[in-house]
Amino acid sequence: MNWRSIWAIAQKDLKEARQNKAAWGPAVVVPLIFAVAMPILFIVLPQVIPVEDVQRELGDLDALMRNMPPAFQALFDGKSLEQTFVLYAAGFMLAPMFLIMPLMFSTVVGSDSFVGERERKTLEALLYAPTSDLELFLGKALAAILPAIGLSWITYAVYIVVVDAASYPLFGRIWFPLATWWPMMFWLTPALAVLGISATVLISSRVKTFMEAYQLSASLVVLVLALVIGQVSGVLFLGVGTVMIIGLFVWLADALLLYLSVKKFNRSSLIAKL
Amino acid sequence: MTNIVEVEGLERVFGANRAVDGMTFHVKPGEVFGLLGPNGAGKTTTVRLLNGILPPSGGSARVFGLDPASDGPRVRQKTGVLTETPALYERLSAYENLAFFATLAGVPEADLKPRVLEMLAFFGLQDRAKDKVETYSKGMKQRLALARALIHKPPLLFLDEPTSGLDPEAAQHVNALIADLGRQNGQTILLATHNLLEAQRLCDRVAVLNKGRILALGSLKELARKLWPVTWVDIRLFEGASAESASARIQALGGVRHVQAEKETLAVQVEAEEIIPQVVAALARENVPILKVIPRDYTLEDIYFALQAGEK
């Protein structure tokens, strides 16, 4: 395996993706919304709107919390109304939203790398390079996976700082991140980045343009939305154990999809689509 | 010397279409070998088969003794390919394009920068090295694509329609570069083209293709001989001399098949080019005032159309 070639392909693809506004635009805007705008909104909101409105909101929350596992309910013991609202919103409600990022980042760069290269008619020259099919695949996949994980982690880090800073006057201490967030960051996030790229490779063999590939593979976000709805409706709370189990299933799906993608990614089928 | 390319009964089928249909040929070291044929003749497919991009459906191919289908990366290490479209990364600079492909081809890190700069200078692109390729003219892009194919100094170069889509001036420039590579640097080149003039200027031997099959193979002279075993020579006499009376003096010469006389010109059909000096000597002995001797050369165009007509 020639890692120098693999890194060269990954770096080249990233350089190209950086010049595609449709690719890097969401990579800048979405983290800013998730990591800065939303936490500030949810933390500042209960401190500025009338207490009765918060109380009304918490009426709904009471119902949700009755469905929570006892370990989670304990976190809310002895908290004021405002603290309960902030703890629920920033610590639980927004959590699954962050899982959209690794998926979105890896599908957007992956679409540019796998389909964009064909769309821009540069693929043929690359196929004549003295690399193996697997090296070519790995270079392109890493170009999508590594920034997806890296950007997600940076967004998590910014979110942690923003939540703790904005809620410090309310709690008087640093309370975030909660235990659930660690497996989300280091177990589920990389799994979703890999899921995004392996799905993109499979989709890329059936579409002609970057946009088609991006839109189709971005539909994977539906999976994450199911988690968001589960969390908000109280059906599925993302505890440490739940995140570990979901992560395990995603990694198993990754293994299967990666196997299929590598099998499908070969020069003779790529050249046939030029 | 061992042949660089050995192809034996090579086949590639796409559904009902036999893109390459039992080709057999070889390419010798230092030779410029042409694959000449119309669109759809199987030229590009052959280039792909010889580089391990496509597996063959039948027959065998060896490039530097390696099987491209099973040893693709090692074959491509020794080949450079200029594709029909330049296929350059337009959002990157010329330097970045070349450095990327040099890295993939295994040019050592320490040699990378000097090698890229050397190539840019050779192809006259050093002043625009940092500009994005999207700002280049078509001719510049084609030169850069040629530089990319040669960045790892491959002993075998494939050129697929190297002047397609270029204006005459740019095409001439690219052809001059190819001629330099072939004649002065002894580069082995396999040129796939439908451009007869280009093939005639550049190639030592050509394989004339149609529908995936080789119709004829050889040098221009060999092909002409195969098609037209007899040859014509025009002999012009000084003004006032009689071609009619001169014709009688060579009618009976061995190897002369037919003589036509018109004003001051004799048109002589001979069995082989080697007969021409004997004809000239016979006329000189009889003091016939010869002004010019012009053997009628067949162009690749004549050969090509004769072969294609025969095929139909």
The pLDDT of residue A58 = 59
The ipTM (two decimal places) reads: 0.84
* Of A53, A45, A56, A43, nearest in space to A90 by CA: A43
**Residue B89 to residue A12, Cβ atoms within 8 A:** yes
Q: Which residues contact B136 (CB under 8 A, 6 or more apart)?
A: B94, B128, B144
Rounded CA-CA distance B201/B187 in Å is: 16
Going B53 to B59 to B65 to B70, the CA torsion angle's sign is positive
* Test mutation, B75, B89, B96, chain A, max A CBs within 10 A: B89
Q: Does B13 touch chain A (CB under 8 A)?
A: no
pLDDT for A217 equals: 75
- The pLDDT, as a whole number, for residue B234 is 92
pLDDT score, position B185: 74
Q: Are B205 and B218 in contact (CB under 8 A)?
A: yes
Q: Which pLDDT value is given to residue B311?
A: 65
The pTM assigned to this predicted structure is: 0.84
pLDDT of residue B305: 83
Low-confidence ranges of chain B (pLDDT < 50): none
Question: Which pLDDT does position B128 carry in this prediction?
Answer: 94
* A206: helix, strand or coil: coil
| Beta pairing class for B58-63 and B79-82 | unpaired
- Give the residue numbers in A contacting B (CB under 8 Å), as ranges: 2, 4-5, 8-9, 12, 15-16, 19-20, 120-132, 267-268, 271
Q: What is the pLDDT of residue B110?
A: 94
User: Among all residues of chain A, which has the CA nearest to that of B97?
Assistant: A12
Tens digit of each residue's pLDDT (9 = 90 or more) over A160-209: 999 999 888 888 899 889 888 999 999 999 999 999 999 888 888 788 88
Q: A259, A182, A193, A256: which is closest to A220 by C-alpha?
A: A193
Strand B5-14 to B58-63 pairing:
antiparallel
pLDDT at A78: 81
Higher pLDDT, B81 or A26: B81
For B206, the 3-state DSSP assignment is strand
pLDDT at position A69 is 72
**C-beta of residue B193 within 8 angstroms of C-beta of residue B161:** yes
DSSP A219: T
Per-residue model confidence as pLDDT tens digits over B30-82: 999 999 988 889 999 999 999 999 999 999 999 999 999 999 999 999 999 99
Instruction: Mark yes or no for CB contact B52/A121 under 8 Å.
Output: no
Record the tokens describing residue A137, joined without a space: 């695949």
Closest chain B residue to A127, measured at CA: B53
Give CA angle at B9 (B5, B13), nearest 5°. Answer: 105
d(CA A114, CA A117): 6
Which residue is closest to B150 within chain A, CA to CA?
A: A129
Q: What is the pLDDT of residue B246?
A: 85
B293 at A interface, C-beta within 8 A: no
CA distance B169 to chain A (A): 25
How far is the C-alpha of B41 from the C-alpha of B19, rounded, in Å?
7
3-state secondary structure of B287: coil
Q: What pLDDT does residue B98 have?
A: 97
pLDDT digits (tens, 9 = 90+) for A255-274: 999 999 999 899 988 888 77
Strand partners, B268: B233, B259
With cut-offs at 50, 70 and 90, classify the pLDDT of residue A70. Answer: confident
| Chains A, B: CB pairs < 8 Å | 77
